[in-house]
Chain A
Amino acid sequence: MSLLTTPELAAPQGTRTAPPVDGRRSRRKTTWTAVAFVAPLVIYLVLFYAYPLVQNVVMSLHRFDRFSFVNGGAPFVGFDIYAEVVAQSRFWVVVRQTVIFTTASIVLQYAIGLALAAFFHRSRFRLSATLRGLYLIPWLLPVIVSGTTWQWMMSPDTGVLNAFLGIFGADPVWWLNADNALLSVTIANIWLGVPFNLVILYSGLQNIPADLYEAAALDGAGPWQSFWRITVPLLRPVTLIALLLGLVYTLKVVDIIWIMTSGTGSSQTLATWSYGMAFGKGTSAVIRYSEASAVGTILLLAALVFGFVYIAVQRKQED
């Protein structure tokens, strides 16, 4: 506070309240000051968000190949590429797989995360903090490590998962073949996402005042009732954030899938498909810049829709 009284800092305020000898200039000055303050943010957003996004859309409206990517001259084709991508028989198959992967991942990540969070919240035993810390490991490991480990564990010939199932007399499962690939990568992705949900929901639980539970208990509410009537409603804002972020993360997942299956068989999602086409990776080494950016844009729009849903729900909650 005392700093404000120093003459240097007080001076600008003095000029502003000074008699308007030249009112226009001083107003222009404040406008420029405002612009100067906003500029870094705007420049950053434009350079690192708007420009790549717009380039992505521009690319999906032109027919690029390797030659025109280097030398220019890709013809403008409007929405032809979108039409071609959607008309492919595999498009809807991939969409379906993406929906299954995303929904299953989010729902189970959330359910397991909530169960664990509630467990750690209610039972404060010794080592509970340590144990909670250990649950964060999937989050801290580089995905290349956990993805490769999952791939080994799911090896059809020598994997530990099949050895475990063998104890119960089950036949070995070919985890990463075309039919089972989606199931396998979803399992790995759920494992990867549980810690995030655990952390967010645990902190959400801590923010629920304990006296609410006490009051409910006095009124004769059982643990089940207090969970549904107190925990769930009061956790709603945190739940919303966890689900939305989970959705955006899951929609764009490439790494874990790519490491385990290179997007083969049923594990192909919109994100891995786009990645494979953009860089000529996976089954096909053909580079398809335009198709990849078209799929990328579709993915972006999907995420945007859910962003709006989130805003709408949040606004409704505030009312």
Chain B
Amino acid sequence: MTTTTRVRRGLGLSIALATGLGLAACAGGSTPEPGASGNASEGSTTAEITFWDPYPQHTEGTPWDEHVKSCAPDGSTIVRTSAPQTDLLNQLTTAVKEGTAPDVVVLDNPMMPEAAAAQLLATAEQAGIATAGIDKNLMGPGVVDGVEYGVPFGSNALGLYYNADQLEKAGVDPAAITDWASLDAAIEKTVAAGGKGITFSGIAGEEGVFQFLPWFWGSGADLSDIGTPEAVSAGQLLSGWIGNDWAPRSAATDNQSAAWDLFLTGDYAFAENGSWFASAAADTDFKTGVIPIPAKDGGVAPVPTGGEFAVAPIQTTDASDHYANAAAVIACLTEGEAALTTNETLGYLHAKPEVRAEQVAANPLWEPWVAPIEGAEGRTTELGSEYVNVSASLSEALQGALNAAGDASGVETAFQDASGY
């Protein structure tokens, strides 16, 4: 009896507490107004400038870390924090909510429309960020409803790396790979000669979609409808590689680094991967080369623009000072001599054509990448903040297609059923 009453009393107490808390939580929901006020020109830089980027691999003391810190204006020091790409936007969301947003954030380009729509970002004008001279396709993701937010300091792109030794052994001429049929034929020859085919990253989420888009667009498909026969044919291509044992089945779970590691073993003839591995490819103990990703019926497939935007998050207190910080640091990273260092350090090509030309002249490694970058399409340019939903569906479709391992009806169902919730 006593236990029951005690339990009951305890229960009553916790219910009362819970109710009280619930009310408190409702009442305490007031948050600051989205700040349209503040301008970099009205503020002055402060002693400490906070800087977030998605490059945890560049730890303290690495060239990138030192380059960022050298961009601190006189009398300021930069405090740099890194988080993985997929965490950064969430951390920024919380920080803006708490009023503790950093001065500068380096944000992956497909996240820009969502960040702008949630009013997490100050406009480029407010934050004193210069966007003149940037290629239009690279700037695309940062323009939301005609307003510019932030600036891309450089871009990367996807290409098709090949193991020249394997191709030679199999008697394949890389220059003859101009469409899907010739690519398939080339893979088949290298596999017949003892190779393992091609590596790519089909991991669930944005990373796998990024790698899939050149095939998707190259088939003639459009992001507005992912159930078309063209889209299915792109899924069928990759699914077929798995089914024929021309690609590792781990492609369904490999990220781009894992796929690259497989290529580095020397067993694979081809690898779809990014320009950021260009200098690593030059250092391998087998000969490598790179060709543009072919479109289905010939020509070069459009690749998605890769790379990040430097942005200033919205601020509610001392906004002008924070924006002045952002203006100073971003200008240093994206203009003049330091802009070249920014891109060389990250393995990117500059977002301004004339600086890019300089970069290529100085480092011939970049030459094959110029055309893909100049022809690249912004992932969000067409759909804006709707893109994340479509990307989720596409990821689900791709996973289904890879799992079907070449089975045509399985691939078709995967693309038609994908809802991406």
Contacts and interface: CB of A to CB of B under 8 A. Distances in A.
Interface of A: 46, 50-51, 53-55, 57-58, 65-67, 69-72, 88, 90, 151, 155-158, 174, 176-179, 261-262, 264-265, 279-287
Contacts of A57: 22
9 contacts: A66-B93, A70-B118, A157-B248, A176-B253, A177-B403, A280-B90, A282-B205, A283-B420, A286-B389
Interface centre among B14, B87, B392, B421 (most CB of A within 10 A): B421
Contact of A70 (B119, B205, B248, B389): B119
Interface string B24-37: 01100111111000
Interface string B87-126: 1011001001100000000000000001001111000000
B250 interface: yes
Given A58-B25, A283-B204, A157 B249 contact: yes
B280 interface: no
Nearest to A311: B7
B170 interface: no
Contacts of B86: 279-281, 285
B205 A281 contact: yes
Given A69-B97, A174-B249, A283-B392, A54 B399 contact: no
A60 B66 CA distance: 44
B31 A72 contact: yes
Given A50-B21, A280-B90, A265 B205 contact: no
B17 A50 contact: yes
A268 B201 CA distance: 21
B252 A66 contact: no
Given A178-B403, A265-B399, A284-B392, A50 B18 contact: yes
Contacts of B395: 283-284
Given A261-B253, A283-B204, A70 B403 contact: no
B31 A286 contact: no
Given A69-B97, A90-B421, A285 B119 contact: no
A71 B34 contact: yes
A13 B87 CA distance: 58
A155 B250 contact: yes
A176 B252 contact: yes
A287 B249 contact: no
Given A88-B421, A90-B421, A177-B252, A72 B392 contact: no
B14 A50 contact: yes
A58 B22 contact: yes
A53 B90 CA distance: 21
Given A151-B253, A285-B86, A70 B96 contact: yes
Dominant SS at the B interface? Answer: helix
B391 interface: yes
Contacts of A284: 205, 388-389, 391-392, 395-396, 420-421
Contacts, number: 119
Nearest to A278: B90
B205 A285 contact: yes
Given A284-B395, A285-B86, A264 B204 contact: yes
Contact of A283 (B26, B31, B205): B205
Contacts of A46: 17, 21
A307 to B, nearest CB: 13
B302 interface: no
Contacts of A158: 248, 250
B347 to A, nearest CB: 24
A156 B204 contact: no
Contacts of A287: 90, 93
B206 interface: yes
Top 8 closest A-B pairs, CB basis?
A284-B392, A66-B118, A156-B249, A72-B31, A67-B118, A283-B204, A178-B403, A157-B248
B304 interface: no
Contacts of B405: 174
Interface in B34-90: 34, 86-87, 89-90
Given A177-B249, A178-B403, A265-B399, A285 B206 contact: yes
Contacts of B96: 70
B97 A70 contact: yes
Given A281-B86, A286-B389, A72 B29 contact: yes
Given A46-B21, A151-B253, A174-B249, A264 B93 contact: no
Given A283-B392, A283-B420, A71 B119 contact: yes
Contacts of B205: 262, 281-285
B301 interface: no
B240 interface: no
Contact of A54 (B22, B97, B253): B22
Interface centre among A264, A281, A287 (most CB of B within 10 A): A264
Given A70-B119, A282-B204, 8 more contacts: A50-B18, A54-B25, A58-B25, A65-B118, A264-B204, A280-B86, A281-B205, A282-B205
